Structure 1
Amino acid sequence: MTTQLNEFDAKAAESGNAATERFRESGKTEALSVPKERVSLLANEVLGAVYETVRKHKVSYDEFNALKSWLIRVGEDGEWPLFLDVWVEHVIEEVSTEDREGNKGTIEGPYYVPGSPQFESPATLPMRDDEGGTPLLFQGQVRGVDGRPLPGAHVEIWHADDNGFYSQFAPGLPEWNLRGTVVADAQGNFALNTVQPAPYQIPTDGACGKLIGAAGWHAWRPAHLHLKVSAPGCQLLTAQLYFEGDQHLSDDIASAVKPELVLAPTARAASPGVEVTYDFVLDAVRP
């Protein structure tokens, strides 16, 4: 008899390897032309920081071998995307977007999948008939820093379900569950119906979880919506939007929360659930 798996059967190694494969398919692994001098500078400074840590804290051979074993496990579990996205990406994002005048963004994370189904606004994200969670109407306008509306802007959204799992990274979920791209109208306005996601722990049964346990950290991320907002002639905005009152806004394991990204939904007057309006302001592509 074949056992039907569901999202609660998700394993760190399986979701980690899926994230690794998605990264390989993304085109981001293409060769980058970087001057040897910069490679040398960055490599030497990173290694220098490691040497300083070893000397300062008198790292032993046993600790060194434990580190080697753990690094091997990270690769075996396919968790390098998770490790880098959780503990490093927020600084890369901060540096890369520091000159923007429009909306603040934040990290992409390891669970992005391109090519989601496209819908005209107003839209409803693909979801199961019995999808759990509070119904959420998310709406707003996309415009440029000069204030002009951006007709036909794309608002790409994906998020975890009410149990904290992402489609395509946990078994038993429909392929595009809670994933979609909404096309704004002629005034740059968009509206989409979904459900409010739940806070969740990053996988704890793999290598990253071993680090979290050994360090005595928690593994929680506050509930959030992932978004990529784009329009011709504008810089792509990648963001996560959080929810007021979440207990992990101040101690997100991924350090990705910014005050500008916190939503305050209100009860809907004529329908069950909540609604929130949030506008996106996109920077122009620099010449």
Structure 2
Amino acid sequence: MLNLNEDTITQAVLARHAGMPDERLRQIMTSLVQHLHAFAREVKLTEEEWFEGIRFLTETGQLCSDKRQEFILLSDTLGLSTLVMAQQNHKPAGCTEATVFGPFHVENSPIYPLGADISNGAKGQPCFVSGTVRGLDGQPIAHAKMEVWQADEDGFYDVQYPDLDQLQARGTLHTDAQGRYHFRSILANSYPIPHDGPVGKMLETLGRHPWRPAHLHFRIQAEGHETLITHVFRRGDEYLESDAVFGVRSTLIADWPRHEAGPAPDGSLCDQPFYTLDYDFILNPQRT
């Protein structure tokens, strides 16, 4: 088709996709083209603005590495990650709610026995975490795989330190025969997402802050149950209502009591004040 204009270009592009053998991909690409073109028409996008958008996306991609995923940050801060997650995680009442994955998960994190200190030297006040993993029927789930990760007291994940030669404040544990888990780590604190790149500049331009409320990340997997990706948030954090990535759910907010130096939950003697978190997870049965 020749001599295309603003009124005919959309249908011309869609016609080129008509023979696509993958039906799902055709559906996605058709909708993508229609919405992109509708957006450009609605805002009357100029060539200068289009080029600025291309530059922004180029910079976002150039900053991505095996230690930093700027595109996930972009998706998170625009609410797209939460939208996609929510669409895919409809759960019955009583199940622990899911939330965003975030850009700092590491596959094959160190395996620790229950009760171990997974902080592995990360900076922060001691925190003892415990609870139970159960199914929706209330039965404990034995040997569930639990991956945990968090930022240190300075607001950085281990992978953000270029010279760190070991993983810290993250690990993989397994529940015991009664579905119980417990480990030692460090106190979670609020922190800003990386904002020295294009996503940070976008937030500043939009008049938004980059802060996330204090939380622990969890990914829990067990046979016969859906994988749960979630956080547990620290009650009272000033950013609970304005999380930069829209990840907070009220059911995921918990108390983290402070205790004076002395006997700790694991039987050790802690020579400084410490915190505790007790939280139970309820997994949804695998859909058939």
Which bin holds the TM-score, normalised by the shorter protein?
A: 0.7 to 0.9
Higher relative contact order (CA 8 A, sep 6+): 1
Paired residue for 2:50?
Answer: 64
Aligned equivalents of 1:67, 1:134: Cα separation in 2: 43
Counterpart of 2:61 in structure 1 is: 75
Instruction: Write the letter of the residue equivalent to 2:109.
Output: S
Determine if the alignment matches structure 1 residue 38 to structure 2 residue 27. Answer: yes
**Structure 1 residues 85 and 170 mapped into 2: Cα distance closer, same or farther (>3 Å)?**
farther
User: Aligned ranges for residues 162-173 of structure 1 at < 5 Å?
Assistant: 162-173=153-164
* Kept in 2: contact 1:120–1:184 (CA 8 A): no
Q: Residue in 1 aligned with 2:100?
A: 107
Shift of 1:240: 1.1
Aligned to 1:279: 280
Once the two structures are TM-superposed, the CA of residue 137 in structure 1 deviates from its matched residue by: 0.9
Indicate if the aligned counterparts of 2:233 and 2:253 stay in contact, CA closer than 8 A: yes
Q: Which amino acid aligns with 2:175?
A: A
Q: 1:81 aligns to what SS in structure 2?
A: helix
1:252 maps to amino acid: D
1:140 matched residue in structure 2: 131
Q: CA deviation at 1:60?
A: 3.6
Where does the alignment leave 5 or more consecutive residues of structure 2 unmatched?
1-21, 65-69, 265-272
* Structure 2 Cα separation of the partners of residues 173 and 34 of structure 1: 46
Q: Equivalents in 2 of 1:169, 1:100: separation in Å?
A: 37
Report the Cα offset of residue 122 of structure 1: 2.1
Q: Which residue of 2 aligns with 1:226?
A: 217
Match for residue 54 of structure 1?
43
TM-score (norm 1): 0.81
1:124 aligns with one of 103, 106, 117: 117
After TM superposition, the structure 1 stretch with the greater mean CA deviation from structure 2, 186-195 or 75-84, is: 75-84
Superposition map of 1:11-30 within 5 A: none
Q: How many residues align?
A: 250
Q: CA deviation at 1:231?
A: 1.1
Q: Distance in 1 between matches of 2:35 and 2:105?
A: 28
The answer to whether 1:217 aligns with 2:208 is: yes
2:88 to 84, 96, 117: 96
User: What's the TM-score, normalizing by structure 2?
Assistant: 0.81
Pick from 37, 55, 77: which aligns with 1:86?
77
Q: Which runs of 5+ in 1 are unaligned?
A: 1-32
Which structure has the greater CA radius of gyration? 2
Distance 1:34 1:279, change over 3 A: farther
* CA displacement at 1:207 relative to structure 2: 1.1
